[in-house]
Amino acid sequence: MEAPQKDIALNRQNQRNHSLPQAKVPPQAVELEKAILGAMMIDKRGVDEVVDLLQPEVFYMPEHQLIFAAIMQLFEEGKPIDIFTVVEQLKFQGNLQQVGGEYYLITLSNIVPTAAHVEYHARIITQMYVKRKLIEISGEVAEKSYDETVDVFDLLDEAEKKIFEVSQGSLKRGTVNIGMGVVDVKDKLVEQAKEEGISGISTGFPSLDDYTSGWQNGDLVIIAARPGMGKTAFVLSMARNMAVDHKVPVAIFNLEMTSEQLIKRFLSIETEIPGDKFRSGKLSDVEWNLLNNKISNISEAPIYINDSSMLSIFDLRAQARRLKSQYDIGILIVDYLQLMSANTNNKGGNREQEISTISRNMKSLAKELNIPVIALSQLSRKVEERSDKGGHKRPMLSDLRESGAIEQDADIVSFIYRPEYYKVISWEDESPTEGQAEFIIAKHRNGKTGEIKLRFEGQFGRFSELNMFQQNQEIESRMNVTDVSPDDFLPPDNYNLESDEDFPF
Q: Is 471 exposed, middle or buried (0-12, 13-18, 19+ CB in 10 A)?
A: exposed
| Segment (H or E) for 281 | none
**Partner residues linked to 378 by β-bridges:** 225
- Cβ–Cβ < 8 Å for 373, 219: yes
Q: How many helices, marked H, and strands, marked E, lie in the chain?
A: 18, 9
Query: What is the pLDDT, as a whole number, of residue 185?
Result: 63
- Residue 487: is its pLDDT beyond 70? no
- Residue 306: is its pLDDT beyond 60? yes
pLDDT digits over 163-206, tens only? 877 766 655 445 555 555 666 666 666 665 555 567 889 888 98
Angle 185-119-87 from CA coordinates, rounded to 5°? 70
- Residue 349: is its pLDDT beyond 70? no
Of 320 and 172, the structure prediction assigns the larger pLDDT to: 320
pLDDT digits over 366-417, tens only? 988 899 999 998 888 887 777 776 678 888 888 876 667 788 888 999 999 9
Length of the chain counted residue by residue? 505
Of 413 and 493, the structure prediction assigns the larger pLDDT to: 413
Nearest to 216 by CA among 230, 198, 229: 198
Respond yes or no: is residue 191 known to be catalytic.
no
Say what the pTM is.
0.63
pLDDT digits over 24-80, tens only? 788 899 999 999 999 888 887 788 778 767 888 899 999 999 999 999 888 877 788
Q: Which of 57, 256, 260, 474 is catalytic?
A: 256
DSSP string, 306-367: E--SS-BHHHHHHHHHHHHHHH--SEEEEE-GGG-BSSTT-----HHHHHHHHHHHHHHHHH
Structural domains of the chain, ranges and CATH numbers in brackets: 30-150 (1.10.860.10), 198-479 (3.40.50.300)
